[in-house]
Structure 1
Amino acid sequence: MNIKTLLSLLLLFFIPVYLFAAAEVTGKVTDAKTGESIAGATITIQQLRITTITDAKGQFIIKSLPAKGKYLVEIHSLGYKPMVKTVDFNVPGALTFALEISNVETHEVVITGTPIAANSKFNSTSAASVSREDLLAPSSNLIDGLAKQVPGVSQITTGPGISKPIIRGLGYNRVVTLMDGVKQQGQQWGDEHGIEIDQNQADRVEVLRGAASLLYGSDAIGGVINVLEPLAPTSGTVKGEVLSSYSTNNGLSNSSVMLTGNENGFVWRGRGSYQNAYSFNTPGGYYINSGYNNTSFSGMLGLNKGWGYSHLNFSYFKNNIGFYDSDPGDPLYEGKGTDRTLDFPRQDIRQYKIALNNNFLIGNGSLKLDLGYQKNQRRELDEPTPALFFDLNTYSLDAKYYLPESNGWQPIFGVSASDAHSQNKGTEFLIPAYDQTSAGAFGYVKKTWGQNTFNAGLRFDYVNNNGKQLFIDGEQKFTGFKNNFSNVSGATGYTHVFNDIFSFKANAGTAFRAPNPAELGSNGVHEGTSRYEVGNPDLHPERSFQADAALEFGKNIVTGSIGIYENYIHNYIYASGAKGDQITLTNDAGEEQTYDVYRYGQVNANLYGVEGNLNIHPTSFLHLDNTFSYTHAQNESFDRPLPLIPAGVIHNTLRFEPKVKGLKDFYVSAGLDNFFKQTRIDPTFETATDSYTLVNASIGTTLRLGSQPLKLYVTASNLTNKKYYDALSRLRPGRLSQEDPTYGVFNPGRNVTFGVYLPFNIK
């Protein structure tokens, strides 16, 4: 039985649960000290994918909810300490939440990307949640925004249009990006491919740092980025948002429109976005043909009823981006780079996705079932007809059954499976067409007693790869490969909340990652990286042994956290080159071009580091926020550093929020991004980067258009137009064939962004 047939049978099997009765929850939010009502407070039930706000009397009502079960309810209101409370729907009566006034940012937020959704304070996983408000801070893409705000997160960039996430020094197929409950399957193995997600879709993003293989399987050995779209509003509501921004450095215009509604449990959402940028400007000039544009559409139709919820999500994302294929001695910059027409070579990336997300109440437990289909198409064009055309189709299933809690014990069991098929439809080839099937099963238990939480789990995974043999004009291009990998992963964690000030969390575990088809079978020019890649069909799976611990603290004017981690990886896979290892090819025009050859191999690697934040709030209108992170990564097999490791960084932001008559939420901020030298490089094909400091600033406020709030902001980055190379920029100096040490492209110079955000209510 194939996965597609299994998905259909599962849907038919669970239709009877639609007969469950629905309930509604009413309540009130008040000030804990005065007892006065709090209008505009947000009440959210992440597990049921629904939210609402209080009216002028501080009252709220949420309809079409299950009539039984325990759920975590979040209550937020500006100027008050957030609250996370477990509510038992079996107990009748209105709810009352009394919030305490506070200007201190706390860790009270529900994290859904872990096996069991939990208050982050009682969750052992090192997790950070980035809100919609913070995501509005200007960035060229989603990963760029996260790298600026979450300690331990960085990015490999190819200009401002492409960012690949790095968590604690690990990236590519070691980091899972999750959206609509489905793992993003696209070009995560390639250097010069970003995440095929509209950055405007995210209402909140969770970043899980450290191995999350227990829940997400082989590719989550480094961490998870869980992108959450807006929750369904309360019944009888229709609302939306319009946002738009313009950035001066590369003329990036970003516009998005969204509408969402709920009518008696029938929920829906639709969004359209468009971005367009010309070549980015550096202190040396505009980098040639580095502009890009992307178009995206997404939507959701679903039901929120007494039996749970069922949401059908669909999305389309198209990205066009220019590349400049240069050799040492070629000009890198042009005097006028504001033409938005993309020249050749360029890429055309398209991602189509359908996901069916369900949460069914069955007996006293619940079943969370996510089904997905994705089509990812990558076209590389030297002319209108694509030379390389890679088409990947992936079907996926993820099911988790949550048993009812008993005496503090919360057990769950889960299975997952995926079936991927790729084709090469062009005339150039990098990796062979392949079929990949994976399956996994896990068990997990969480025990809570007093101020302590303990969790443990085991998982088994199986991955089968079948790379297709290929002959071109009688010459063998791909030899083909067949292999399968399996292994057991385990993890355990512990959390202790000492008091309102201190809490401690620690984790230990082992995880594995199977080699991907690009690592196993590459044999061709990777145009976006201007190198010739050679895979290795004899690669072994990576095996990780990791541990981390963190202390979180916060009271009155000071909050923060500090964490350490260690990750030893046996059979770590990466592509490396050696000076003199080159190949010369003749293109269709009869021109010869020489490429550096990068070959995939394995070493033993050890990564450890520290990360944290320190936030000082001396008054309600003055905030000093600081984050820091450092990763030390060693190639143990050859006694030298691992390549592509981020430099240590400290971010400082001073934010001033005075009360200004006629304005709401007015603020002025200034910040420093301090990046240390990165001299720990792989000397065979990397060059060191110097330290540098970037100066940033922003100002913003909220106006009223009748009853609708209008948020306006202006932000500036790299105000001094600093000339620098980032350690993870793919455009910095460092090619094997490089003879001129000044060869390389500077990172973007000064950039000022003007933005507007208008949330509105129609009904």
Structure 2
Amino acid sequence: MKLKLISSLFFLFIQFAAFADANIIKGKVVDAKTNETLIGAVVSVPDLHISVATSANGEFVLRSVPSTGKYVVQVQYVSYKTITQTVDFASATPLLFAMQASVVEAHEVVITGTPITAGSRSNSTSATVVGKEQLQGSSTNLIDALARQVPGFSQITTSQAISKPVIRGLSYNRVVTLNDGVKQQGQQFGDEHGIEIDQFQAERVEVLRGAASLMYGSDALGGVINIIDPPSPAEGTVKGEVLSNYSTNSGLINTSLMLTGNENGFVWRGRGTYQNAHSYNTPAGYFQNSGFNQTDVNGMLGVNKAWGYSHLNFSYFKTNIGFFDAEPGDNLYSNTTSRTLDYPKQDIRHYKLAWNNNFIFGGSSLKLDLGFQKNQRRELEDNPSPVLFFDLNTYSLDAKYYMHEFDGWHPVIGLSASLGHSVNKGVELLVPAYDEYSTGAFGYIKKVWDKNTFSAGLRVDYIQNKGKQQFVDGEEVFTGFDNKFGNLSGALGYTHAFNDALSFKANAGTAFRAPNPAELGSNGVHEGTNRYEIGNGSLAPERSYQADATLEYGSGFVTGSFGIYENYIHNYIYASNTNNEQITVIDPTTNQPRSYDAYRYGQVNANLYGFEGNLTLHPVAFLHFENTFSYTRAQNESFDRPLPLIPAGVLHNTLRFEPKVKGLSDFYLSAGIDNYFKQTRIDATFETPADGYTLLNAGVGATFKLGAQPLKIYVSGNNLTNKRYYDALSRLRPGRYSQEDPTFGVYNPGRNITFGFYLPFGTK
């Protein structure tokens, strides 16, 4: 009955929206100083998922767009300052965008992952946008690529294939990953569980720092990673790209092919990606069985019309990851470069359907996102039959209604709901089978006047977690639980543009995170961490109180930002080993007893604060000196000691030289130094201090012409001095879960050279 009701409402919206009048928006892009037309400038409307390029005379046409309403339009062109402008589509006057030549192309960018799409200068959320080219380098996964680009962002790593995002010291279920408008659900509680998304499918990624619970509910305590797929091309065109690279350290081969088209508003896209790597090389040798292979297929079918758009996105992600089940004293390294994975290993599969819709009603609109995900995580010990097998199905709904703007006020109301159903299909048990229900609603309003914006919002949530009782051989393994959590969140934001170069933004608010089923009901050996985890069914939700402020500057030869933040979290949840407690179990593969440190979930009050920023100097137009920095200090206030798994302070410096070379475009030479400082503020119950280190990097690249098609070729090098080091957040470093033998640890990757190319193409 519920499905029938939802279907009826959906088709009613389509029929009503179908009466929307089709409209054509025309315009031109020119040089602001010379008035010369700019050929190939990209004009996009993010809220409509469309993009066109200017013709030989600098003109563009946006077809089948709404005849009413105001939309943010972004115009981009190489060596020119990006334009972000709100346009009234009801106006019949052709648009004229006059672009200013600048060594800084994207000081002002569009942010879509907040309640209302807007330029970064009028958006109070601290955000960094990472483009497609920045995701194509020598990284091994999406999170690894972002960690090298975004201040305040780092990663918890397990070998080369698994990276968990960390934003301002918060990770696991405190960071939301969003793709196709749907929250990624895939066992985020686990240390060795990565993000099941193809790093090459993104057109760009927005990293929102700070609480985003107002829009996304529980789990968005630390921030949001919003992955945005390519927009639909202009009507009557087919576009595509092929890219590939090879890395010497682990023999990593990346290959990805994409095609997309638009025929009279019927749009489609398909992509296939394959990655394969053998064990990675450290200065001490190849770390045993650390290779991986990964296959991803994703695509979209939909329509773009005057009434809005409706897109069905689908993806299949499969990865196999090798592990070395080492004991203290084992030889960790070998000289083998075989691409055949030995046991133990992981077999991870993620299936997803996302139905994204935007229905436009005059000056109002309704965005509706429906999602289904199946996440299957198998851990194999010594044969193809998994000993541990999580199978999670998640259904989700997210709706936002944007009311008609009046006198500078922009109101939005939203509703979300999800249902998660997880079962255990393996012989080893860690987390009970569970059902998770959540519903939430929010109201948000934004006021724009002069050079100021003010925003405020409230959200209410209800979450229920039901863990199922389970017996094995007559012995109770899981007692079961039924927890209900309610919450009220609020947020305030303010921005002020002093002039075209200087702006200020600030936020304050409260947010929450409900305990996840692993924290509530774990009772078993977590093989990836070599510890016995015990949940706590009486955990209360985390409550966050945080504020941040950022000053941004961008003009001429200097651009940069500096921000400070503080986040006090009441009832912060984490697992710890107290009194050196150990539990002995019978290993199912050897039938021998084995002892593990026992980690019990508990709660403390925590305070995290720090600063982050970037500074880029352009002494001359062809020289760029780029710098990013961040530092987080985190304290366990209840026991007066540091929190665990907090990144060390880091300073990235890159000098980029872009001379004009005849016959080439976008030629560059770069050299960089990554400075990671000591991390002595550690939780001594299972961490040891991490030394600081410095890495030397370099790169060179250029774009050639193959007829009318550009071909980008690049070479990049990381850790060129082949330095031995342990990253503070590497799960394989000494002292992490293995204090009984401080020599037990694996170095991070040594020298790595990556060779790659990128070839975009298109046709009418």
TM-score between the two structures when normalised by the length of structure 1: 0.99
For residue 665 of structure 2, what is the aligned residue in structure 1? Answer: 664
- Aligned AA for 2:313? N
Q: CA deviation at 1:531?
A: 1.5
For residue 19 of structure 1, what is the aligned residue in structure 2? Answer: 19
C-alpha change, 1:52 and 1:535, in structure 2 (3 Å) is same
- Aligned AA for 1:680? R
Structure 1, unaligned runs of 5 or more: none
For residue 63 of structure 1, what is the aligned residue in structure 2? Answer: 63
Contact 2:529 2:737 in 1 (8 A): no
Contact 1:579 1:684 in 2 (8 A): no
For residue 715 of structure 1, what is the aligned residue in structure 2? Answer: 716
Contact 2:167 2:223 in 1 (8 A): yes
C-alpha change, 1:175 and 1:737, in structure 2 (3 Å) is closer
Contact 2:70 2:363 in 1 (8 A): no
> Does residue 675 of structure 1 match 2:676?
yes
Q: CA deviation at 1:389?
A: 1.1
Contact 2:271 2:299 in 1 (8 A): yes
- Aligned AA for 1:469? Q
Contact 1:468 1:479 in 2 (8 A): yes
Residues 346-400 of structure 1: CA deviation (Å, up to 9, x unaligned): 1111110000000001243100110000000011111111111110000000000
Q: Provide the rounded CA distance (Å) in 1 between the counterparts of 2:133 and 2:396.
A: 32
- Aligned AA for 1:18? A
For residue 485 of structure 1, what is the aligned residue in structure 2? Answer: 485
Q: Provide the rounded CA distance (Å) in 1 between the counterparts of 2:433 and 2:5.
A: 25
Contact 2:687 2:739 in 1 (8 A): no
Per the alignment, in what secondary structure is the counterpart of residue 580 of structure 1? coil
The within-5 A match list for 1:124-143 is 124-143=124-143
For residue 320 of structure 2, what is the aligned residue in structure 1? Answer: 320
Q: Provide the rounded CA distance (Å) in 2 between the counterparts of 1:735 and 1:447.
A: 48
For residue 341 of structure 2, what is the aligned residue in structure 1? Answer: 342
Contact 1:106 1:559 in 2 (8 A): no
Q: CA deviation at 1:488?
A: 0.2
The within-5 A match list for 1:460-539 is 460-539=460-539
- Aligned AA for 2:412? I
C-alpha change, 1:456 and 1:654, in structure 2 (3 Å) is same
Contact 1:143 1:164 in 2 (8 A): yes
Q: Provide the rounded CA distance (Å) in 2 between the counterparts of 1:249 and 1:582.
A: 38
Structure 2, unaligned runs of 5 or more: none
For residue 732 of structure 1, what is the aligned residue in structure 2? Answer: 733
Q: CA deviation at 1:596?
A: 1.7
The 10-residue stretch of structure 1 (294-303 or 129-138) with the greater mean CA deviation from structure 2: 129-138
The 10-residue stretch of structure 1 (20-29 or 199-208) with the greater mean CA deviation from structure 2: 20-29
Per the alignment, in what secondary structure is the counterpart of residue 407 of structure 2? coil
Q: Provide the rounded CA distance (Å) in 2 between the counterparts of 1:733 and 1:534.
A: 24
Contact 1:578 1:685 in 2 (8 A): no
Per the alignment, in what secondary structure is the counterpart of residue 321 of structure 2? strand
- Aligned AA for 2:597? D
The within-5 A match list for 1:340-379 is 340-379=339-378
Contact 1:579 1:685 in 2 (8 A): no
- Aligned AA for 2:340? T
For residue 617 of structure 1, what is the aligned residue in structure 2? Answer: 618
Residues 440-469 of structure 1: CA deviation (Å, up to 9, x unaligned): 000000000000000000000000010000
For residue 459 of structure 1, what is the aligned residue in structure 2? Answer: 459
Q: Provide the rounded CA distance (Å) in 2 between the counterparts of 1:377 and 1:7.
A: 28
Per the alignment, in what secondary structure is the counterpart of residue 317 of structure 1? strand
Per the alignment, in what secondary structure is the counterpart of residue 721 of structure 1? coil
Q: Provide the rounded CA distance (Å) in 2 between the counterparts of 1:404 and 1:89.
A: 14
Contact 2:68 2:362 in 1 (8 A): no
Contact 1:107 1:121 in 2 (8 A): no
Per the alignment, in what secondary structure is the counterpart of residue 218 of structure 1? coil
Contact 1:292 1:342 in 2 (8 A): yes
- Aligned AA for 1:372? G
Q: CA deviation at 1:426?
A: 1.3
Residues 489-542 of structure 1: CA deviation (Å, up to 9, x unaligned): 000000000001210000000001100001000111111222111111010000
Q: CA deviation at 1:620?
A: 1.3
Q: Provide the rounded CA distance (Å) in 2 between the counterparts of 1:602 and 1:175.
A: 19
Residues 469-499 of structure 1: CA deviation (Å, up to 9, x unaligned): 0000100010000010001000000000000
Q: Provide the rounded CA distance (Å) in 1 between the counterparts of 2:166 and 2:737.
A: 23
Q: CA deviation at 1:147?
A: 0.7
Q: CA deviation at 1:735?
A: 4.2
Per the alignment, in what secondary structure is the counterpart of residue 93 of structure 1? coil
For residue 386 of structure 2, what is the aligned residue in structure 1? Answer: 386
Q: CA deviation at 1:106?
A: 4.5
Residues 681-715 of structure 1: CA deviation (Å, up to 9, x unaligned): 00111000111000000000001111110000000
Q: Provide the rounded CA distance (Å) in 2 between the counterparts of 1:174 and 1:344.
A: 32
For residue 445 of structure 1, what is the aligned residue in structure 2? Answer: 445
- Aligned AA for 2:222? G
> Does residue 699 of structure 1 match 2:700?
yes
Q: Provide the rounded CA distance (Å) in 2 between the counterparts of 1:581 and 1:371.
A: 45
- Aligned AA for 2:354? A
Q: Provide the rounded CA distance (Å) in 2 between the counterparts of 1:501 and 1:92.
A: 31
Per the alignment, in what secondary structure is the counterpart of residue 400 of structure 1? strand
CA-atom RMSD in angstroms: 1.1
Per the alignment, in what secondary structure is the counterpart of residue 578 of structure 2? strand
Residues 589-629 of structure 1: CA deviation (Å, up to 9, x unaligned): 32232222211111000000000000001111100000000
Contact 1:63 1:264 in 2 (8 A): no
Q: CA deviation at 1:579?
A: 5.9
Residues 77-136 of structure 1: CA deviation (Å, up to 9, x unaligned): 111111011111101032111101111245311100000000001110001111112222
Q: Provide the rounded CA distance (Å) in 2 between the counterparts of 1:406 and 1:461.
A: 28
- Aligned AA for 1:643? P
Per the alignment, in what secondary structure is the counterpart of residue 580 of structure 2? strand
- Aligned AA for 1:682? D
Residues 224-270 of structure 1: CA deviation (Å, up to 9, x unaligned): 00000100001001010000000011111000000000011100000
Residues 618-648 of structure 1: CA deviation (Å, up to 9, x unaligned): 1111000000000000000000000000000
Aligned residues: 761
Q: Provide the rounded CA distance (Å) in 2 between the counterparts of 1:364 and 1:245.
A: 46
Q: Provide the rounded CA distance (Å) in 2 between the counterparts of 1:358 and 1:459.
A: 23
Q: CA deviation at 1:584?
A: 2.0
Contact 1:454 1:493 in 2 (8 A): yes
Contact 1:106 1:554 in 2 (8 A): no
- Aligned AA for 1:270? G
Q: CA deviation at 1:59?
A: 1.0
Contact 1:577 1:736 in 2 (8 A): no
Contact 1:596 1:737 in 2 (8 A): no
For residue 633 of structure 2, what is the aligned residue in structure 1? Answer: 632
Q: Provide the rounded CA distance (Å) in 1 between the counterparts of 2:592 and 2:332.
A: 21
Q: Provide the rounded CA distance (Å) in 2 between the counterparts of 1:760 and 1:736.
A: 49
Q: CA deviation at 1:37?
A: 0.5
Q: CA deviation at 1:66?
A: 1.0
Per the alignment, in what secondary structure is the counterpart of residue 15 of structure 1? helix
For residue 425 of structure 1, what is the aligned residue in structure 2? Answer: 425
- Aligned AA for 1:730? R
Q: CA deviation at 1:587?
A: 2.1
Contact 1:316 1:352 in 2 (8 A): yes
For residue 118 of structure 1, what is the aligned residue in structure 2? Answer: 118
Residues 536-565 of structure 1: CA deviation (Å, up to 9, x unaligned): 101000000000000001211101000000
Q: Provide the rounded CA distance (Å) in 1 between the counterparts of 2:174 and 2:371.
A: 21
> Does residue 190 of structure 1 match 2:197?
no
Q: Provide the rounded CA distance (Å) in 1 between the counterparts of 2:146 and 2:87.
A: 32
C-alpha change, 1:225 and 1:737, in structure 2 (3 Å) is closer
- Aligned AA for 1:602? Q
Q: Provide the rounded CA distance (Å) in 2 between the counterparts of 1:60 and 1:541.
A: 51
Q: CA deviation at 1:737?
A: 4.8
For residue 158 of structure 1, what is the aligned residue in structure 2? Answer: 158
Q: Provide the rounded CA distance (Å) in 2 between the counterparts of 1:391 and 1:476.
A: 21
- Aligned AA for 1:683? A
Contact 2:295 2:319 in 1 (8 A): yes
Residues 271-327 of structure 1: CA deviation (Å, up to 9, x unaligned): 000000111111111111111011010010011001001100000000110111111
Q: Provide the rounded CA distance (Å) in 2 between the counterparts of 1:579 and 1:724.
A: 31
For residue 249 of structure 1, what is the aligned residue in structure 2? Answer: 249
Contact 2:735 2:741 in 1 (8 A): no
Q: Provide the rounded CA distance (Å) in 1 between the counterparts of 2:56 and 2:397.
A: 44
TM-score between the two structures when normalised by the length of structure 2: 0.98
